[in-house]
Chain A
């Protein structure tokens, strides 16, 4: 136990150590986090009036980012599936990077939900009167909380074993890995059900939303991991093979194709039926009654996804440069699709047909950026600590010398 806390302490100290690029990156992230904290403090005092949300559009950027990040978190275990089910051992260590990202993403999700609350001071009420299983939001709390714990356990256990130079005992992590795989599907499905179950919002009330969520997440998540792995490969000694990237590329290609197909299915149903329920879809894609704030966004998103798909299907994608381009296009394109494209238009027009558009305020954007920066900060630290542990440069001193001298605490 004492050793474990020493491990945490060393991790903490290591996270401050790095070259100037690392320091600068962390400093910039810290600055953005602080800007976000400041913006949130204002919102905390004055209320959600600081955001662009209204009674008509009652969920905005916060919930959009939440939805997107749930997908990213779920997609991180896409890496797990080939490793443990198909025994692709070249990915074995990389799984940890995926799961660490899942941890960071879930923490960001929880932060986004929290900043969206009108009364965050009453958050504890959710434990005192938990409306389970009736409210899908309580399902989501269970799903996200459970997923966070699962991934913390798996990553923590594997990293700590590596630190102690012990071989991980499969009983302590293989069952959890398989639970996590199922759980990953569930977090995104439950989040989709959050919206799908609302009969009063025809834009969401479609069974295809959950599969669309999964498909888009399994495109954007691994795309993010592809880019992260390359950054790790460039900045550290950690060896990441091209085969690993190629496998991820295949996952991304298939997921993106399925995502586009499902989007097509949805659009056909809406536009060919031509019922009154397509008002939100019309608003999103073409504008309605003279309002068209979202139109440029969604077409940008579709263009980005299409270009990414074309690149991925061509042999071009074997070049990392083009693969990265496709990944960035996908990450941004799907972010728009999930956020501006899925959450906001369901509120426009309102259930009574009133057109009130949504425009996020600067304060709201700062809060979002702050949370993103916080998540990236966490993930950077995770990776910063994990890489030396996995490559055997940060090991328990008990492994080598029995009489380890207590670590001198540095400054800060």
Chain B
């Protein structure tokens, strides 16, 4: 290309220049009436019922003396149990209170905790009477370390003020979380988790599952152990000794 007066804006340029203004008007039309190319992802708000995030304890504790509803009437324990004297205790199927499933480890006798003489109360080994609404001392007789942790707020849950000079704190009792008959938490009540995160432009993570790391020795050992334990739990065939 030559470097001399090549691009003189002569004839064609002068009329083409008149197109600049109208060309801008096309752009004006586009901005005002053209399609909106901006995309704003509108995600539906995930809401959970207020009950799902209530701070109330998981369980309601019994009063002292406890009452239960029988045929629509509030009854105390002794209303019936004074009629039926205590019997020699052996492991047996319950005829009443059939909803009770006892899975409390090696603690498998009712009267380890229940007072056979006064069914309205619980009882310690030494004979000290324990009310249903404050069972901590009773549980502590076996669960020493947990009791100690609980005393300092490390085990269990404390509601209310951390600074007790400013307001009250309420330390939940053992039975406000644990079912005394099946005290282990996960076994007691697995719960439905609240919805997973759904953040902006997240895509669908379910389509991409994490690959298990097969080579990890720890995972391998856990899997093998589990298989063996399951086999022992449900022996299909005799395992040679």
Contact = CB atoms under 8 A, between A and B. Distances in A.
A174 interface: no
Interface in B172-225: 199-203, 205, 207-211
Contact of B39 (A18, A236, A290, A363): A363
B38 A42 contact: yes
A54 B199 contact: yes
A255 B209 CA distance: 42
Contacts of A357: 203
B62 to A, nearest CB: 43
A357 B6 CA distance: 50
Interface in A359-378: 359, 361-363, 366
A166 interface: no
A212 B211 CA distance: 33
A46 interface: yes
A24 to B, nearest CB: 8
B37 interface: yes
A290 B36 CA distance: 33
B8 A237 contact: no
A303 interface: no
Interface string A334-363: 000000000000000000001111010111
Interface residues of B, number: 32
Q: Which of B7, B17, B31 has the most CB of A within 10 A?
A: B7
B27 interface: yes
B90 interface: no
Contact of B9 (A20, A38, A49): A20
A46 B13 contact: no
A49 B200 CA distance: 8
B3 interface: yes
A20 B7 contact: yes
Contact of A356 (B3, B16, B20, B201): B201
B45 interface: no
B126 interface: no
A361 B39 contact: yes
B12 interface: yes
B38 A46 contact: yes
Nearest to B197: A354
A188 to B, nearest CB: 31
A289 B31 CA distance: 42
A263 interface: no
A103 interface: no
A92 B39 CA distance: 49
Nearest to A20: B13
Nearest to A38: B31
A290 B211 CA distance: 9
Contacts of B69: none
Contacts of A355: 205, 208
Contacts of A31: 23, 27
Nearest to A49: B40
A278 to B, nearest CB: 14
Contacts of A361: 38-39
B1 interface: yes
B223 to A, nearest CB: 21
A50 B38 contact: yes
Nearest to B17: A23
A356 B203 contact: yes
Contacts of A56: 199, 202
A50 B207 CA distance: 25
Contacts of A122: none
Indicate the member of B3, B38, B202, B208 with the most A CB atoms within 10 Å: B38
B163 interface: no
B4 interface: yes
Contact of A366 (B3, B7, B37, B202): B37
Given A39-B38, A237-B3, A363-B37, A290 B208 contact: yes
Contacts of A290: 207-209
Contacts of B9: 18-20, 23
B100 to A, nearest CB: 43
B235 interface: no
Contacts of A54: 199-202
B41 interface: yes
Contact of A46 (B40, B202, B210): B40
Interface in A44-64: 46, 49-50, 52, 54-56
Contacts of A289: 208-211
Contacts of B207: 290
Contacts of A21: 7
A49 B199 CA distance: 12
A64 to B, nearest CB: 17
B11 to A, nearest CB: 10
A22 interface: yes
Given A20-B16, A54-B202, A363-B39, 12 more contacts: A19-B7, A20-B12, A22-B7, A23-B17, A31-B23, A42-B38, A49-B40, A49-B200, A50-B39, A56-B199, A235-B1, A236-B3
8 contacts: A23-B17, A43-B38, A46-B40, A54-B201, A235-B1, A237-B4, A289-B208, A361-B39
Interface of B: 1, 3-4, 6-9, 12-13, 16-17, 20, 23, 27, 31, 36-41, 199-203, 205, 207-211
Enumerate the 10 nearest inter-chain pairs by beta-carbon distance, A residue then B residue, closest first.
Answer: A19-B7, A290-B208, A363-B38, A20-B13, A42-B38, A19-B9, A237-B3, A54-B200, A362-B37, A54-B201
